[in-house]
A and B are shown apart, each in its own frame.
Chain A
C-alpha cells in the first residue's frame, strides 16, 4: 500500500492519465468501460477501467509540482509507466483561442519540484512516441491542435515578470500551466514515457474569463478524446498490433 495513493498494484494500469483536476479525472473515467474508483485519498481521485479491453487508470494529480510528483512516483511504484497529462492551460499567443487544444513539445521549467531530481538545464520534454501519438490521434479525429512549447510554474497568483513574459511569448511559448515540467523531468529520471495536452481556458490577455467557459468545456472534451485515442494506439503498438 502506497503512502498517499491508498491502493495496490493490481488496481493500477500501466497506462495512466494524470489530469490536475478531480472533475476532469471523473470525466476521463466516464470514457472507460467498467470504471471503478480505486482510491480517494489526499486529493488523489483514482479510477481504473478499460478502453477496448485495454486496462487504463486515471488519477487527479492536484495542482503544482509537489503533489504531482508524489502522484506519479506512487503510480510508478504500482506499475504505471506511460503517462498522459490531460490538463488545462492559459495562453501566451493571440492565435490561441479559448477551447483550443495544445500538445506540448517542451516546457520552460519555472517550477521547483523537478529541480530536486535534475538541474534546470535538463530539458523538460515529453517522449517523442507519446507526442507523436497525440498529434496523430488529433489528426485522426479531425481535431485542430497547436503543437509547441509552454511554461510550467508553481505560483498561479504570484506577480508576473512582464519582461520575461514578453520574451517567452516572442520565443513562441504557447501554453502556461503548473504540472508538465514535473511530469517530463520525472519521466526522464524514472524511464517512463510521458506526454501532455491542454485545453486552453483563457486568452493571451485574460485569465480564465467567464465567457470562455463553454468553449473551454468543449476543448476539454476534445483533449480527453485525443488522449484516449492516443493511449489506445500506444497500447496497441506495445502489443505489436497496428503500426
Chain B
C-alpha cells in the first residue's frame, strides 16, 4: 500500500493518464470501458479500466510539482511506466486560440521539484516515442495541434518576469502550465516513458477568460481522444515488440 495513493499494484495499469484536475480524471475515466475508482486519497482520484481490452489507469496529480512527483513515483511503484499528461495551459502566442491543443517537445524548467532529481541544465523533454504517438494520433483523428516548446512553473499567481516572458514568447514558447517539467525530468531519471498534451484555456493576453470556456471544453474533449488513441498505439506497439 503506497503512502499517499492508497491502492495496490493490481489496481494500477502500466499505461497511465495524469491530468492535473480531478474533473478531467473523471472525464478520461468515462472514456474507458468498465472504469472503477481504485483510490480517492490526498486529492488523487484514481480510476482503472480498459480501452479495447488494454488496461489503463488515470490519476489526477493535483497542481504543481510536489504532488505531481509523489503521484507518478507511487504509480510507478505500483507498475506504471508510461505516462501521458492530459492538461490545460495558457499561452504566450497570438496564434494559439482558446481550445487549441499544444503538444510539448520540451519545457522551460521554472519549477523547482525536478531540480531535486536533476539540475536545470537537463532538458525537460518527452520521450520521442510518446511525442510521436501523440502527433500521429492527432493526425489520424484529424485534429489540429501546435507542436513546440512550453514553459512550466510553480506559482500561478506570482508576478511574472515580464522581460523573460517576452524573450520566451519570441523563442516560440507555446504553453504555460505547472506539471510537465516534473513529469519529463523524473521520467528520464526513472527510465519511464512520458508525453503531454494541453488544451489551451487562455490567450496571449488573457488568463482563463470566461468567454473562452466553451472552446476550452471542446479542446479538452479532443485532447482526451488524442491521448487515448496515442496510448492505445503505444500499447499495441509494445505487444508487437514484446509478445507475452
Contact = CB atoms under 8 A, between A and B. Distances in A.
A121 B118 contact: no
Contacts of B118: 167-168, 171
Contacts of B209: none
Nearest to A153: B121
A66 B217 CA distance: 47
Contact of B125 (A125, A132, A188, A191): A125
Interface stretch (B32-40, B69-77, B105-113, B222-230): B105-113
A190 to B, nearest CB: 9
Interface string A144-156: 0001110000000
A168 B121 CA distance: 11
A135 B109 contact: no
Interface in B116-162: 118, 120-125, 127-129, 131-132, 135, 147-149
Nearest to B147: A128
Nearest to B110: A121
Interface stretch (B5-13, B19-27, B60-68, B165-173): B165-173
Contact of B108 (A121, A131, A170): A121
Nearest to A170: B189
B125 A149 contact: yes
A76 B118 CA distance: 33
Contacts of B50: none
Contacts of B123: 106-109, 123-125, 149
Interface of A, secondary structure class, is mixed
Contact of B132 (A118, A126, A132, A168): A132
- Kindly list the 10 A-B residue pairs having the minimum CB-CB distance in the complex, ordered from nearest: A123-B106, A125-B106, A106-B123, A106-B125, A109-B121, A121-B109, A188-B171, A123-B123, A171-B188, A121-B120
Interface of B: 105-110, 118, 120-125, 127-129, 131-132, 135, 147-149, 164, 167-168, 170-172, 188-189, 191
Given A105-B125, A123-B106, A124-B106, 17 more contacts: A106-B106, A108-B122, A118-B167, A118-B171, A120-B121, A121-B110, A125-B106, A125-B123, A127-B105, A128-B105, A129-B147, A149-B125, A170-B189, A171-B122, A172-B188, A188-B171, A189-B170
15 contacts: A105-B128, A106-B106, A109-B121, A109-B123, A118-B168, A122-B149, A123-B107, A123-B109, A125-B105, A125-B123, A127-B105, A129-B147, A135-B132, A147-B129, A188-B149
